[in-house]
A = this chain, B = another copy of it.
Amino acid sequence: MSDCGILPPMETELSKKLGVEHAIFGFTPFPAVAAAITRAGGFGVLGAVRYTAPDDLARDLDWMQEHTDGKPYGLDVVMPARKVEGVTEADVEAMIPAGHRQFVQDTLAKHGVPELAEGEASGWRITGWMEEVARNQLDVAFEYPIKLLANALGSPPADVVRRAHDGDVLVAALAGSARHARHHADAGIDVVVAQGYEAGGHTGEIASMVLVPDVVDAVGPLPVLAAGGIGSGEQIAAGLALGAQGVWLGSLWLTTEEADLHSRALTRKLLAAGSGDTVRSRALTGKPARQLRTEWTDAWDDPSGPGTLPMPLQGLLVAEAVSRIQKYETGALLGTPVGQIVGRMNTERSVQAVFDDLTSGFERAVDRINRIAGRSVA
């Protein structure tokens, strides 16, 4: 399995099933990062939420296919299990109170954020979260030899699970509690990603140290990946010690050379942030998601403000504002989903260099734990 003649350093039943050298799963919205993770011997998972046009996804999957040396990779979609019939984006728009729209404009004005130019699209749209868009993404995705389809929010619909299994594609879903995980298992999925409190993006209140064994106990022998708080080889060893069959890392890749955040100011903010500079806030989507703490999240979390709206209203409400903040790099408001390991993301390096650190750090952690346990290792 290894390219360099030594034993593979991180092999589990799941990694063998997927034909991957190291049980390190890297989630990222950037094809160049996902491909580099796969080439390094991990399992790159491309986040598809930003693709509203199926052709854009097809173009990037073509590129992935050409740049992964025949090694395995996967795709992450946002696919609600329940379909809401006949609801358009305009219907959802109409549900947003005027006071909330005013609060967005007031907050942007207070920080002098310019308007977008006429006809300039908002970069992040609610549409990527809607069933129809996700189904179009899947029609494209199943044309490619993806090995894993992950669903970021809830259990995927039964027909999608069947379609994946018919194509020998494993299905994964994220869970923030043992109850969520059991629900996924009942839906017939193959892998549960246990996403702890410290993770970037949508996350619950139970920390990885407690959540991972909870989920392993709840769904075993189904394989579990540990997500949240993992950005070093030592943290990988910890996740595996907790019973996971692999680890799922998202935040760590945001400051790699291959990532394209479209904002140097945001990259600098991430490189400078400490472990305590994130917050679990509903500001971005209406559900609690860990992100950089900014004056934008503070404004939404302030009891004197109007408070956030439920998903998907909040995401639709703030989409244009988020685009403006990113485009004009408004320092005090500029944020992104990221986990508490942001405190470890202090230099810009290649994905390969980051990956090498993970595998060597893992080896050191295994050595250390064997010394503590009094084991002689050959």
Contacts and interface: CB of A to CB of B under 8 A. Distances in A.
Contacts of A276: 177, 204-206
A351 interface: no
Nearest to A177: B276
A373 B363 contact: yes
Contact of A198 (B209, B238, B374): B209
Contact of A210 (B23, B177, B198, B376): B198
Nearest to A230: B209
A377 B374 contact: no
Interface stretch (A113-121, A162-170, A240-248): A240-248
A211 B340 CA distance: 9
Interface string A247-274: 0000000000000000000000000001
Q: How many copies of this chain sit in the oligomeric assembly?
A: 2
Contacts of A197: 197-198, 207
Contacts of A303: 303
A23 B7 CA distance: 31
A122 interface: no
A241 B368 contact: yes
A171 to B, nearest CB: 23
Contacts of A31: none
A179 B111 CA distance: 31
Given A229-B210, A343-B214, A372 B234 contact: no
A369 B246 CA distance: 11
A366 interface: yes
A23 B8 CA distance: 31
A367 B344 CA distance: 29
A341 B210 CA distance: 6
Interface in A195-244: 196-198, 204-211, 213-214, 228-230, 232, 234-235, 237-243
A241 B208 CA distance: 14
Interface in A170-209: 177-178, 196-198, 204-209
B373 A10 contact: yes
Contact of A238 (B242, B341, B375): B242
A375 B309 CA distance: 51
B208 A372 contact: no
Contact of A241 (B11, B344, B365, B377): B365
Contacts of A362: 373
A105 interface: no
Given A178-B275, A234-B213, A241-B365, A375 B372 contact: no
A214 B373 CA distance: 23
A4 interface: no
A310 interface: no
14 contacts: A9-B373, A197-B197, A198-B210, A208-B209, A209-B230, A210-B235, A210-B341, A213-B232, A213-B234, A237-B238, A237-B241, A363-B373, A376-B377, A376-B378
Interface of A: 7-12, 23, 177-178, 196-198, 204-211, 213-214, 228-230, 232, 234-235, 237-243, 274-276, 303, 339-341, 343-344, 362-363, 365-366, 368-370, 372-378
Task: List the 3 closest pairs (A to B, CB-CB), nearest first.
Answer: A209-B229, A7-B374, A238-B238
Given A178-B275, A198-B210, 18 more contacts: A8-B374, A196-B209, A197-B197, A206-B275, A206-B276, A207-B340, A210-B229, A210-B235, A210-B343, A211-B275, A213-B234, A214-B275, A238-B238, A238-B239, A241-B241, A243-B368, A366-B375, A376-B378
